[in-house]
Amino acid sequence: MGLSVPAAFAVIVTAALVSFGLLYTSGESAYSMIHEAGEDYNQMVLRAKTAELALSSYNYTTDGTVLVYDMTFNLTNEGTTLSPARWAFIYDGRLDDSAILISGDEYLLPGDSMTVTVQNIPKVELEVHSLVISTEVGCALKVKWEWVGNRTNGSPRVVGSAWYCPVEG
């Protein structure tokens, strides 16, 4: 025996209401997730736009009898809080931090300073060296320098430094 027309109609209406409820819940969840992703993106862009490292000074150490020197850069955070433990260092085009020493805490607060030292740089006259300090927000500070003078009587000179943010939106 079959179902009566009102019973079949009730089953169809109930199934439609349940389906609509599931569809509404999944749509609301998707909207919420998209909205949260947009907020996360906006925070990331804001952090990238307000982060900035600056080269405040530099010095070097060497001995006249050796053919290498160490270069120390004093960096100042002029933007948002950064985390030096999450930075990458590209020295003369190589992603290599074995020759890099950093001093400082886990976080670099706005206005604070820290030092980054590149060790065992060869004393070759007018050979340009570079260090790119890539921060966790996708922005980087690039410093270029060269040795001026001979191997026993000379000193390094910074050619230039620049902060750049390729992810600015």
Residue extents of the structural domains in the chain? 1-50, 52-164
What CA–CA distance (Å, rounded) separates 64 from 58?
Answer: 19
- Give per-residue pLDDT as tens, 70-108: 999 999 998 888 999 999 999 999 997 788 999 878 899
Please tell us whether the domain made up of 52-164 is placed in CATH 1.10.287.
Answer: no
Q: Tell me what the pLDDT averaged over the chain comes to.
A: 87
List CB contacts of 55: < 8 A, sequence separation 6 or more.
Answer: 73, 74, 75, 141, 143, 158, 161
- Give per-residue pLDDT as tens, 9-42: 888 888 888 888 888 888 898 888 998 888 888 7
Query: Is residue 87 classed as helix, strand or coil in its secondary structure?
Result: coil
What CA–CA distance (Å, rounded) separates 65 from 129?
Answer: 21
- Does residue 167 carry a pLDDT above 60? no
pLDDT for the residue numbered 75: 95
